[in-house]
Chain A
């Protein structure tokens, strides 16, 4: 099996504030050495809280930002430092769906122009009629009416806009779809519609999906594997069921325990993490999670722990192998 996407030791810095008027800018390590593969046809979720760097990973993999270290291979070709022009053929093979269905569609364009934009860019030779036909086809693919083609984004509800965003992403039939919090801005009843749509399209079009989210319930439903990020690093990577039933990193344990379960009969002891995520400008030494970890030892401050494979496909970055972690799900 060959991986569609191979990411190795990806790093991305942003310029932070200057500590003084004549001092160099601080470096903000948004992504600090992240490695993962996505197999063809797989759904891999990237989970983390705000500031964990998950969105930056998505954007950098798409080369919307230039990585400051590491390599990205797509379909066997290294795209880490390709020029804009050299990158163009890859653009049509990987697409992005955004979180905010209001900001991601140009308010001054019609549906035809928005959904047809990828065609205008990558297949400028096709005629207007053909382009319109394919836009209509893409609209019905995502459950919208072909007659919506002349409308403007503000005439649609949030869920419908998200469908438009998906239609735009899929009109060129990409291989990889990066979905950055695609349902978190939607109403609960509409979220389920969009999740169903994405899974259905994945089957029909044979998509590979990198799903970026903070919503563990949705992630648990949609993913084959899950990678948990904290402060720019992966702390745990595992098959979905294994991650939910037997988390191996204390952060995953706390994250799972913090998810409110919609059942008032379930009363569980919750692990409430103290404090906030540390500033990425000044991350803790060693393990990034140690300042909030209830299992932290002095040794945790020494060096950032590497990801180690604890069981087939189950990786964790934690030096404590002697702890038994709880799961809200229990053993199946």
Chain B
């Protein structure tokens, strides 16, 4: 057997920087559908540092959820879905693996141990016929090899950590006996059971009421401070993004259209789509002060089977310039330090709007 360190270096096409947990390079995901090949995600690249939160923002069909599923290879298997590119993840053991190339067996160990996921609807992710305690304990036993009793004890600790009152008694509950917020806490507890390096949260608060959403956001923030895990937070709610994210990646029709730290993204968005999204949300501080028309973005997202030529936002864009915007796909330009935008006119538009 070769020494591990050597294998590692050999399997490392491009290394991660010291504090980086995840590097995604040119990730593309395509589905084979009866109606043809559907490019759900194209050329997504980003890196994520320890303790950092990246928000993935977009509407339905933007590819934000598929991106996150693709990172953990939870999309359907090969003939139905193809993943290309690189997903480098630093494991809990410090080793860096390319998840796209990893065999399924090894991938299964990565899920849950190095990277975990929380979904929108906790009811469908929890098995309704098993008690909550068993489900959390099973996740622990699978990865940690603990005994049943020890795993249950740890499960109770985890439930306490995520703020479930009376955790010992709650272990015996079935999922349907818990409220939506409690179920989401259980999901988070399961995801955290092995202290993963990376947590992917796919619309974890969308199905919850605002007051419960506030609780869950608080909880995630607290847990992240404690464990220094990196978080990918997928949402369509810009308010949530502003509260939780360090950096933001806006996706539209399968591509990243803008990528920036949270303050410049909200303060000086460069992509007309991002600006449109921000403006279409009614402002709370203007509530009741008259009903100006909301700045809606006209039209709907393009059909992924029949994308428009050039910039995919061009058909809905106020600033579209025929001949330029629909000619070729704009590149993801580095407009300012750490701020990338996919728009041929960003420089002209920034002058006018900034």
Contact = CB atoms under 8 A, between A and B. Distances in A.
A220 interface: yes
Interface string A266-282: 10001011111100000
Contact of B263 (A240, A265, A272): A265
B285 interface: yes
B1 interface: no
B236 A258 contact: no
Contacts of A220: 282, 284, 286-288
B214 A272 contact: yes
B280 A328 contact: no
A293 B288 CA distance: 26
Contacts of A272: 211, 214-215, 218
B125 interface: no
Interface stretch (B22-30, B141-149, B195-203, B237-245): B237-245
11 contacts: A188-B237, A189-B280, A193-B296, A217-B283, A220-B282, A240-B288, A260-B213, A262-B241, A262-B266, A264-B242, A276-B182
A217 B283 CA distance: 6
A160 interface: yes
Contacts of B276: 189
Given A187-B236, A196-B294, A217-B283, A254 B301 contact: no
A167 to B, nearest CB: 17
B221 to A, nearest CB: 11
A313 to B, nearest CB: 12
A245 B287 CA distance: 9
B281 interface: yes
B59 A262 contact: no
Contacts of B288: 220, 223, 239-245
A216 interface: yes
Contact of A270 (B165, B214, B289): B214
A195 B279 CA distance: 13
B161 interface: no
Contacts of A261: 239, 242-243, 284
Contacts of A159: 300
Sorted nearest first, the 5 A-B pairs with minimum C-beta distance are A220-B287, A260-B239, A240-B288, A241-B288, A192-B296
Interface string B280-308: 11111111110101111110110000000
Contacts of B180: 50
B210 A259 contact: yes
Nearest to B236: A188
Interface in B190-241: 209-215, 217-218, 236-241
Nearest to A200: B293
Contact of A330 (B236, B283, B285, B298): B285
A227 interface: no
Contacts of B211: 49, 254-255, 258, 272-273
Interface residues of B, number: 51
Interface string B246-263: 000000000000000011
Contacts of A329: 284-285, 287
Interface in B134-182: 165, 179-182
B179 A276 contact: yes
**Which among B210, B218, B280 has the highest number of chain A CB atoms within 10 Å?**
B210
A223 B60 CA distance: 28
Given A261-B239, A262-B238, A264-B262, A192 B284 contact: no
B281 A188 contact: yes
A222 interface: yes
B301 A49 contact: no
Given A159-B300, A196-B294, 19 more contacts: A49-B209, A187-B60, A188-B281, A189-B276, A189-B277, A189-B296, A190-B300, A192-B282, A192-B294, A192-B296, A192-B297, A195-B294, A222-B291, A258-B211, A258-B214, A262-B278, A264-B267, A270-B218, A276-B181
Contacts of B300: 157, 159-160, 190
Contact of B281 (A223, A244, A262): A262
Contacts of B298: 193
B284 A273 contact: no
A214 to B, nearest CB: 7
A260 B217 contact: yes
Contacts of B263: 264-265
Nearest to B61: A187
A188 B217 contact: no
A273 B288 CA distance: 25
Interface string A152-179: 0000011110000000000000000000
A192 B242 contact: no
A195 B282 contact: yes
A221 interface: yes
